Amino acid sequence: MTDFTPEQDSDDDLYEHYTFTAEKGQQPLRIDKYLMNFIENATRNKIQAAAKNGSIYVNDVPVKSNYKVKPFDVIRVLFEHPPYENLLTPENISLNIVYEDNDLLVVNKEAGMVVHPGHGNYSGTLINALIYHFDNLPNNSSNRPGLVHRIDKDTSGLLVIAKNEETMTHLAKQFFDKTSEREYVAIVWGNMEEDEGTIEGNIGRHPKNRLQNTVFYGDDEDKGKPAVTHYKVLERLGYVTLVSCKLETGRTHQIRVHMKHIGHTLFNDERYGGEKILKGTTFTKYKQFVENCFKILPRQALHAKTLGFTHPKTGKFMRFDSEIPQDMQQCIEKWRHYVKHQEM
């Protein structure tokens, strides 16, 4: 997927929000159904309304919602307003700041908060909060103020924010050079065979569902970017395992994709199928137990626990640690209780 381009279309005074090129193996599929797989938070009604208003173009011709997408079709979604993510609005949202100085700050993000505006999430994001509380934050290469890295909406945990250009450049280089330290804690489905290991596999957009990423290997390896995740078992809890994951690279959804790839999808990770009961018994009581766990932890079981980097000004290595949030901790306790009960 190619994200929005901020430039105005000179031909018709419309702004391009999305552009896609259909794969060569694309089967005929209504464009409203096709776009639902590619645009996050889009509903079929919204897509049909956009088509009715003449906002969806295929090969530079406006189409209706029943148009059947064919291989190599170039699909563009155009509107009269620029993408909302270009129109950042400061919002007075409180932040859990665990460290701050003149050059940077470290924030402990709650699950449910989107890091930066995107389709369907134009307010209430971390960036909306940052630009309210801080002036003149430097833009990263994607024009996002202060952001050095990001974590998913439903992942909780630590992020470092740059306050000036020099800090942004220095920290970005550390992430690129793999000298920063990032440890996540996750609950995954299944009892992992090895106590520790390394997952290597190039990650890229899923060819059929662009809201997912996937591992590419063999002849398709070059469709993804290199990704390395080191994992270690912290606790075995019967049909799930508590693991520590250290990132060597920082691909989108990296831990979620790598864990699914080795057969250990994150617990309650809806996007990757972890909201289904993937391991365990067929007993109704067990099914009820898992559903209760899902209610306690209504998101993927992933927390960015530890963050380490060298301070750009002092040269001192700084390491920050955060507690596992309550929803995840309660879920772990339930599994501990379940395993103990099974052993009796």
Active site residues: 152
CA–CA distance, 157 with 107 (Å, rounded to integer): 8
Residues 236-252: b if buried by 16+ CB within 10 A, e if exposed: ebbbbbbbbbbbebebe
Cβ atoms 185, 248 nearer than 8 A: no
Q: Identify whether the C-beta of residue 125 lies closer than 8 Å to the C-beta of residue 115.
A: yes
Cα–Cα distance measured from residue 34 to residue 110, given in angstroms and rounded to the nearest whole number: 32
Taken in order 178, 179, 180, 182, the sign of the CA dihedral is: positive
Three-state secondary structure call for residue 157:
strand
**Do residues 300 and 334 touch, judged by C-beta distance below 8 A?**
no
Q: Indicate the residue type of 219.
A: D
Residue with tokens 């059947």: 68
Of 267, 270, 273, 274, give the one whose Cα is nearest residue 241: 267
Look-up: residue for tokens 């909302």? 84
Which amino acid does the sequence have at 281?
A: T
* 278 φ, ψ (degrees, to nearest 5): -90, -20
Write down the H helix ranges in the chain.
31-36, 44-52, 126-133, 165-177, 254-261, 284-296, 326-343
**Please, is 147 exposed, middle or buried when counting C-beta atoms within 10 Å of its C-beta (0-12, 13-18, 19+)?**
buried
